[in-house]
Amino acid sequence: MVVIFYYSGIYLLTVEIKQMLKYRSKYFTLFNIFDSCSIILGMIVFSLILANTFIKINGIDDESIIFATSVTALILWIEMLLCLRLFSGIAINIYIFGSILEKVLPFFTFMFVLIVGFGHSMFILFGFPSIVDLHPSASNLTGGTPDNPFDTPLDAILSTYNWSTINLGDYNYWPLKLFAFIASIILVLILLNMIIALMNDTFNNAKEDGKFGLLGLKLDCLIIESFVALKNMFILNYKVFILKREMFFNKLLMRNLPRFIRD
């Protein structure tokens, strides 16, 4: 089984290298990156586990190996999901997910900067409680000192991201309450509704273009197949030509559909 595993891994890695040498910069797509990572990480982690088992009697007792194994397992499951794009229903969902991710990524950057900004401000404010008189109210002292959710910069960012779960009612410092009110409006009310509206609009557009995206995913699968079955290159080239023609006419139809409806 070990020999079969390494043989399959080397064979698949060779296929990826051939694609990389032929397509160069065009090779680096999301699907190809997951293909390469799943192969390379799978072989590395399996080799580490195998070596660790022979060296140590207790088996796996290294934290880094356990973490690498968990990450590799997640990547392999995602790779299996991407392999199922041969089926139309799953392929359309993958295309919709990719379209939504592409559209909301700039908004996520904007949202991340705001979260870091609010988290940094709260970290500074809670960093000097004696100077700004930031102490719990007298009615809550019997219950013990509340935990500081902004103790470290990382905790401050994570707490700001989960702003709706933070309870700042134990403090009577009015600038903190004002700051919390502003943050609640911006982070919870405005940003949350913005991302819901953006994702809803992107989902509707991606659903309409789902057939075009399905043809593109099938074209990617045929290109991968051309490296595995080199004996039937003529048939594969014909299939690629047919898919490209269908993609062209579908794209042309999507562009002119509003004009046809108006006419």
pTM of the model: 0.63
DSSP 44-92: HHHHHHHHHHHH-TT----HHHHHHHHHHHHHHHHHHHHHGGGSHHHHH
Residue 82: Cβ within 10 Å count:
19
Predicted local confidence at residue 231, as pLDDT = 46
The domain ranges of the chain are: 1-86
pLDDT, one tens digit for every residue, the chain (263 residues)? 778 888 888 888 888 888 888 878 878 877 788 888 888 988 988 888 888 777 765 556 677 888 888 989 999 898 888 888 777 778 778 878 887 888 888 888 999 999 999 889 888 888 776 666 666 555 444 555 556 778 888 888 888 888 877 777 777 777 788 888 888 888 888 888 888 888 888 887 777 666 665 666 566 665 555 555 554 444 445 444 455 555 544 554 455 444 434 44
DSSP 115-169: HHHHHHHHHHHHH-TTTTT--B-GGGGGG-PPP-TTSSHHHHHHHHHTGGG---T
Predicted local confidence at residue 257, as pLDDT = 43
Q: Which residues of 163-180 are buried (b: 16+ CB within 10 A; e: fewer)?
A: beeeebeebebeebeebb
Q: Give bridge partners of residue 136 from the DSSP assignment.
A: 171
